[in-house]
Structure 1
Amino acid sequence: MKSVLFERNSLHPMELERRELPATGARAVRDLAHEIAVTLGPDPATSSTLANPTLIHLVDARYTELPAAVREAMRAPATTAGVTIVGSVPLDDGELGPTPIDWKQAATWGGDPLTCAASFELDIAMLLLARCAGEPFGWQGQQAGRLVNNIVPSPGHEEEQTGASSTTLLAPHTEDAFHPERANLLMLGCLRNPDRVGTTVSSVRRVELRPWQCDRLSESILPILPDLSYGTEFPTTPAPAVPTLGTDDGRLTLRFDPAYTPLADADPEFRSAYDHLASELERVCITAALAPGELLLVDNDVVVHGRVPFRPRYDGTDRWLKRVNIRLPQRRRAETEAAEDGYGQRIVAPFRAMRPEIGTTLGHRR
């Protein structure tokens, strides 16, 4: 059974919602990020995870200084496609330095003004923009808990189903589908994309399913396992089965990661329904190739995303994205998810910690 999208190289700009930052607003993002970076000074401890309390306080206290048009542009996608391109944060390729070979190198460079100070400032810009949208967070078990992840092709990982891959099709998936605290909104910021590598996106609200298929896919039949970016050692307790489809105010939501779902363990009827869903996601797939400075907002409750294959050069000019997970406090998920332990993976959520009234809830229905 084929349960991933096929390669899609044609781009679909007309099918994508697009919002433009006014020039003054876009400049204000960079200027404020620079001001905060100068205030903090070069500090490897700050750049390593970006969870420095002073940095978090400055971002949380000052993002509201950005023009209202910037904050309006960062609202969740408004169409059934569930994705929005936001353009553009001012960016010059010369300020970036070479594309790092992995996220660890990117993190090391982030706070060093002799290598790539712009990377650290752009991390702060990403946090400011993400804070306009909701609450940025990271994962303790992924990229050492960084709040802003660096997505670059890495030697030795070309064929994996992770963001470090390149020559293989990155199968469409819900980001961190295995976890009850997965992001509501995913933000991808492009620093470099010379080969116009496409990001694929497919919305469950554009597919056509029969009632029996919806019923079967709404049952908790199979688990979804953590991807390789979290390592390979997880608790030995039985993995909980989770539904593929859910609803929010009567509209479909999706929890989908075929590369990490043991589909062979399901009965033929369920596999048939899952296969049809995968085919429908392929049919409605649209592809976006981000330009430097552009952002892609993905509704992670509705949309699966992936990436077409490309050939990395490892010469400092490869594709380089930054990624932020965002929680939308107004969103609620099914109460049944509250019982899941997320395979022991814990989030890094300093913005949530600053709000005692929010506490550590998982954002489930009550």
Structure 2
Amino acid sequence: MDAFYASVEQLDNPELRGKPVAVGGDSQRGVVAAASYEARKFGVKSAMPSAKAAKQCPQLIFVPPRFPRYKELSAQIREVFFEYTDLVEPLSLDEAYLDVTENKIGLNSATLIAKEIKRKIKERTGLIASAGISYNKFLAKTASDMDKPDGLYVILPEDAEEFVAKLPVHRFHGIGKVTAEKMVMAGIFTGKDLRKKSLEDMKLRYGKSGQYYYNICRGIDHRKVQPTRDTKSVSAERTFEDNIYELDDVTEEVDRIARISFERYKRSSASDGHTITIKMKYGDFRQITRSKTVDHAINTEEEFTSIALALLTEDLLDEQGIRLIGVGISNFRKDEEPETPSQLTLEF
């Protein structure tokens, strides 16, 4: 979806249409969750501090997020996907992979299916989507970003090698900003440059990601579309207007955030979590986490919060103050039933 959160706000409020809009807080501590294309012209983008965004675009209109509304529209969009295939792998509320090799309408053109999906999304929700079409996840994802907004970009198998060779490394899905900068420092600017490196060199430079980089610069990606994705963790966090310094204040916030996190845990599809984690981010943006794992499933708010609070100690405090606290639960697994002893048998 194109600028999904911001587009929803412009859809629901005609007065915002054609204007630079940022979804997120407008305070000094706020962060832009999404920016309209009008705002992007000024360099405003997601994850940018709100203060910086307002400086770059003084006429920027900040709108608080409305996640229930985004989820509602996301569900409508996914209903469109399922009219064509059950192999739908959501990445977020506004993005998904679809495998349409075998589809419900018997159409043998992924491009025509993408056009139909884009049209139906516009008709049913009033929102604009972009689509990328290719023979694997990496190329389809890359294609989806090539012609936004309202894009439809196809990378054919016979064109993939040349396409990837010319692609700048910062546009490779899966290569982050820091890694891309390191590659450029090492003289690796494009897929063609990356392709010159051996697999051993890739693994030495980039660890576990080396194999992935070695493959994608050759247009290879064997990952399948996974129609079900297990939840790895459920959490809640808060960034404070002013840093907090006292243990009593930290304790109060951890208790409050843990209760919010527990509510999300109970509403989610996850269950039988065994590990509680707290996260602290300090005034200088250093971050630490602490976790505790128990041998049984955590299913009550009282135990959830008490474990989180037990992780707090004086040494967590810092002269820089704490600007963010997060509390989450993970390690979802069923408690194993004890095995019943059985008599071994020997054949003669």
Shorter-normalised TM range: under 0.3
Larger Rg: 2
Higher helix proportion: 2
**TM-score, scaled to structure 1:** 0.23
Structure showing greater relative contact order (alpha-carbon pairs closer than 8 Å, 6 or more residues apart): 1
**TM-score, scaled to structure 2:** 0.24
